[in-house]
Structure 1
């Protein structure tokens, strides 16, 4: 009967329950537990396995640049200008459910991508749909989709995530056509779905990134006025890579 039960669990693809049942059979000490206790352990094993699989699916779809980033491991060194209370308040992801935005700015290496990925990870743990893009790559995809007829489908896909992460904003000027594409994306999500943006440039300099000033006004009005802001400071967190001994090259 035991073998039949194991076979049935396997055929129903209840692998975690099967493994836990096998473990209980192999450990004589489990015989001292009541039926309810052993059943609870078997059910818990399956529940945890399904929850973990669901999280992994959400993380794969999120395409985070730092998929292992999490808010629990944030470095709160005072030089970074990170407020624990602010992070704790945002960690529950209620701002995402309310359709608000998040802006993270700071110099190269201060941890912007890690932090925005950590918020993406936190959202996935709340079973919220997330997708992450580098801004320049997103604009390239939108330009390509105009030519191959998939533009409307891509815009529709960009409306779906509860949180859309736009990483590395402002790395290059945005031409008028790309300005219109970005406005389409942001306008579709405004007031309904959240956007998280990371950028080296402070918000005060964002307007100059857009080659179309009118669209710049529209984009910033929709994003900035509805956003929480985090400005990272301090030295770069990236490890320094020393020059190879004997390397005569110089860096300007």
Structure 2
């Protein structure tokens, strides 16, 4: 038996999961007959899995996904024209390790956000720091930061550091010159350093004008598009489809 003093030491070392493992396995009648090496391996495996599960749970909570239960395995492909093989490949998250951007483009209700959140959850499972945010909300944060601190350096550092950043409702609203400059600085920080998923109703050809035009708009486009994978989500209204499925 593990005595109370040993349990206390394990908890101080943040290894309380080992106590749980021991208490679970020691109830098995065959436990005492197992060699030390096998016992050690079983407890190490239990500890690893518990630490992994906890870290993924924390990452998903911090990501603030709009659709927190989105799963790649639950995606509907029939009638949407989405390449199943491509999505399967993206779900391995190799695009993050290669700093590749993803653009989901399609009509309202076509499932862009679901796809992005599903890939975001896959990223968390591989322990990439991930964040979901709507562009309108990000720009509100920018305005508040400017009022409180006089600059957006802290915000740029925060959003520039995520392994995967999901920006939803990309270019839905007009942006000011100051917001354009902020977006440029953010994209510049993430360029070839991290991956970003963009969800938008607008085709690439419309981006320059929606970004306000000029050299900054051109620079933003160049940094996003040159290594991006574009995925058309089609015109099928997934909200209506899912509503009918659950009737």
TM-score (normalizing by structure 2):
0.86
CA distance in 2, matches of 1:234, 1:69: 20
Partner of 2:139: 139
Where 1:166 maps in the other structure, the secondary structure is: strand
Kept in 1, the 8 Å contact 2:211–2:217? The answer is: yes
CA distance in 1, matches of 2:14, 2:180: 49
Kept in 2, the 8 Å contact 1:176–1:212? The answer is: no
Kept in 1, the 8 Å contact 2:7–2:16? The answer is: no
- Alpha-carbon deviations, 1:157-197, whole Å to 9, x = none? 22211222111112211122211111111122222222110
Partner of 2:192: 191
Kept in 2, the 8 Å contact 1:176–1:210? The answer is: no
Look at both structures and tell me which one has the larger radius of gyration over its CA atoms: 1
Where 2:107 maps in the other structure, the secondary structure is: coil
CA distance in 2, matches of 1:89, 1:178: 34
Where 1:92 maps in the other structure, the secondary structure is: coil
- Alpha-carbon deviations, 1:227-246, whole Å to 9, x = none? 0011001421214779xxxx
Report the CA distance shift for 1:212/1:146 in structure 2 as closer, same or farther (over 3 A).
farther
Alignment gaps of 5+ in structure 1: 243-252
State yes or no: 1:86 paired with 2:86. yes
How does 1:25-104 map onto structure 2 within 5 Å? 25-31=26-32, 33-77=34-78, 79-104=79-104
State yes or no: 1:164 paired with 2:150. no
CA distance in 2, matches of 1:220, 1:36: 56
Alignment gaps of 5+ in structure 2: none
Aligned residues: 241
Report the CA distance shift for 1:13/1:192 in structure 2 as closer, same or farther (over 3 A).
closer
- Alpha-carbon deviations, 1:69-122, whole Å to 9, x = none? 232322222x11111221122222222222221100111112111111122122
